[in-house]
Structure 1
């Protein structure tokens, strides 16, 4: 598992001038709802005390640490002690959230009124005074069942934040010529808590050669044969691909050092094919499916984005070029009148062959068409081609500008069930208002051509992750609806 398991410690708090019993009974109701609705999430109830003071805060902190909690949910059962509860968040080393109890009944507004609605305001004020990052849900006051839902929504955010703090990105070689778009200022990675190890392609080639004849190669070849089935169009190179896969896995194990999680920024050209004798696309897709994202063209922030998507969705992701427009005749024949999208809402996402077999409607492992235009076909084998499976997707990216400022974008849409008629790992994508998003976010904010793709709609979670790790909200772009102008959009256009 190349991602953390989250254990959320729930600590209830109480203002000493309110009945402690309110926080006790409301915490019990919250935990009951959590157990009934989200038994798959590890949620721990701190039983040692209701936090009313700094001493209680220390006791609760020690208890949740001892229990192995790596995320914290502070639950305002009533107004709450603004100092003790924010000190708890300050001294807890991990992601935290604040959530508050709603009043239960109009018949209990005398001794049963908790005022947590008010207490959340003071909590947020004190968090800001202490420069403490905390996740606060869109509407953070609710019933036990609603608060359980909020904690469940916090879980993937917490998982991503924890994962980034223990991540190392391993890169091989500089960006290829004419790929300055994949520039990677290093300082923002350190600011995020991410380590980076950049290696020479020659180091990788040496390691690959040392794996010649590795006894594990036949078992990897057998896995590949079973996965590819009839799509195994180049069986003669499977042993080389298996050798390369083992090289990368051993490199990860030998080089991750004190970090727990790894992503790879790899390279496939211009010299890779002629020296290694193949392209690494299929291997990259296999590692990504196993939870170790591998980006193309040494795209370090692409690898980082893929890793975030993997951890949030707990599923395979891919990295694609925002590649080409859908031809007008193809739109008219296959999309117009069948799907609720304009021509400008559609585009084709493509990469040579890095998308995992499990995310393709069909696949063939064969040669790479673009490279084969200028090289012998036999050194371009190893790409995985097929149309990407139709369904909901989220297109997103976290990126640093040249002056080391973080920005991001998130856009939800779908892959249409439309034959691409083309090559590579490719799909026909539709994102509402994509034309405007393309111009006023992707172009205007100088994003590179690579975008990470998570399968499913994960926009809400990704947006919260980007906020939590420090991306300014004004720098998180999204595909705005028609009646919401971008700052650079001409209102008369």
Structure 2
């Protein structure tokens, strides 16, 4: 999964203490690099971009907004390092329009003579009011210092939320074949998806996928690679090699389709045509695709694929999701049910030995 770019706005207002603002800016940068350097690229102004590398007026705001647009930031974090100029902060968000979190900072000790160095909380109230008047949504991350656990926890949640938005808005999802006619639960509204979230459903004919799979040779390196991986990954001793080769061919075609079209995932017409006309049940293929970051949902469940993509993004690609929607009530125990789907679990989620076999439902119907 790609890294998350966060634009950092170090907000300041004259005549408060710019030395304190600069110190806090460096501490925020150091905290993010130390705690999130594996997933976050922090974009922030230098002294070449703004006065003292801070943001305190309209000129600074325009410069920082241009920097953020150029770098393609995914989200914006604003810290009122001193009082903070609310119009400058609001202008950056207004121009860039990305998910935003606001931090107030804790007050330092007053200087001799009673001079207040910061007054961050008051400035934060003004900034959030400016965003509210403009109907720009934002998160409030708290009143923090960058080394504190409250900041780490809040920033972690923000980065994950930003990544969800990054993946979800503008997503392309494959719909391979039509949905099952009797399953109205997996309908989806393409017009609403496009209008609200700039999403697109990429329709693919199931017959085309099957024919492309059939065209692949049994000894195609892409096919043998998948077969070898499956044999190493799980116990496939009960499955004929011919079936493994068919599964491998189907995986190659679907994986290359997703990569070629830039899909975050796909919903597949997984029964009964594939069983009757191609000879395999595609659950293993779908689980392996999900394991590799291409979310694969049963029964052309486009919303299910999007849901998994959001879950995967929320974990920053560190946790494999599994979309479960068959809830079978336990025959004797109260408040216990079996949560599963009919076989497309990612193999990485197997507890102990993972065994490949014939489908418990489809085998009775079509023998695959």
TM-score by length of 2: 0.88
Query: 1:83-162 alignment to 2 at 5 Å?
Result: 83-92=87-96, 94-105=98-109, 110-137=114-141, 140-146=142-148, 147-162=151-166
Secondary structure of the corresponding residue to residue 174 of structure 2? strand
Q: Which runs of 5+ in 2 are unaligned?
A: 48-52
CA 1:25–1:148 in structure 2 vs 1: closer, same or farther (change >3 Å)?
Answer: farther
Q: What is the aligned partner in structure 2 of residue 217 from structure 1?
A: 223
Q: Deviations over 1:300-340 (max 9, x none)?
A: 10000000111111121111124112343xx4xxxxxxxxx
Q: What is the aligned partner in structure 1 of residue 60 from structure 2?
A: 56
Q: Deviations over 1:279-311 (max 9, x none)?
A: 100000001000000000111100000001111
CA 1:37–1:372 in structure 2 vs 1: closer, same or farther (change >3 Å)?
Answer: closer
CA distance in 1, matches of 2:113, 2:213: 71
Q: What is the aligned partner in structure 2 of residue 292 from structure 1?
A: 294
CA distance in 1, matches of 2:228, 2:146: 50
Q: What is the aligned partner in structure 2 of residue 484 from structure 1?
A: none
Q: Which runs of 5+ in 1 are unaligned?
A: 332-342, 381-493
Query: 1:390-401 alignment to 2 at 5 Å?
Result: none
110-119 or 69-78: bigger deviation: 110-119
Pick from 68, 73, 76 the counterpart of residue 72 of structure 1: 76
Pick from 347, 358, 361 the counterpart of residue 367 of structure 1: 358
CA distance in 2, matches of 1:131, 1:173: 41
CA 1:127–1:109 in structure 2 vs 1: closer, same or farther (change >3 Å)?
Answer: farther
CA distance in 1, matches of 2:125, 2:272: 56
C-alpha contact (below 8 Å) 1:4/1:163 kept by paired residues: no
TM-score by length of 1: 0.67
CA distance in 2, matches of 1:36, 1:217: 42
More strand, by proportion = 1
C-alpha displacement of 1:157: 1.2
Query: 1:193-342 alignment to 2 at 5 Å?
Result: 193-213=198-218, 214-228=220-234, 230-236=235-241, 237-256=243-262, 261-313=263-315, 314=317, 315-328=319-332, 331=333
Q: Deviations over 1:369-396 (max 9, x none)?
A: 1122222x2xx2xxxxxxxxxxxxxxxx
C-alpha contact (below 8 Å) 1:30/1:148 kept by paired residues: no
C-alpha contact (below 8 Å) 2:230/2:236 kept by paired residues: no
Secondary structure of the corresponding residue to residue 161 of structure 1? helix
Q: Deviations over 1:459-489 (max 9, x none)?
A: xxxxxxxxxxxxxxxxxxxxxxxxxxxxxxx
C-alpha contact (below 8 Å) 1:8/1:70 kept by paired residues: yes
Kindly tell me the number of residue pairs found equivalent between the two proteins.
354
Secondary structure of the corresponding residue to residue 8 of structure 1? strand
CA 1:129–1:109 in structure 2 vs 1: closer, same or farther (change >3 Å)?
Answer: farther
Secondary structure of the corresponding residue to residue 320 of structure 1? coil
C-alpha contact (below 8 Å) 1:175/1:299 kept by paired residues: yes
C-alpha displacement of 1:92: 1.7
41-50 or 315-324: bigger deviation: 41-50
CA distance in 2, matches of 1:166, 1:111: 49
Q: What is the aligned partner in structure 2 of residue 81 from structure 1?
A: 85
C-alpha contact (below 8 Å) 1:170/1:196 kept by paired residues: yes
CA 1:127–1:225 in structure 2 vs 1: closer, same or farther (change >3 Å)?
Answer: same
CA distance in 2, matches of 1:72, 1:215: 45
C-alpha contact (below 8 Å) 2:247/2:285 kept by paired residues: yes
More helix, by proportion = 2
CA 1:271–1:67 in structure 2 vs 1: closer, same or farther (change >3 Å)?
Answer: closer
C-alpha displacement of 1:235: 3.7
Q: CA RMSD in A?
A: 2.3
CA 1:34–1:108 in structure 2 vs 1: closer, same or farther (change >3 Å)?
Answer: farther
CA distance in 2, matches of 1:164, 1:217: 31
Q: Deviations over 1:223-275 (max 9, x none)?
A: 111111x344214211101100011122123333xxxx521111211322101
C-alpha displacement of 1:38: 3.3
Secondary structure of the corresponding residue to residue 365 of structure 1? coil
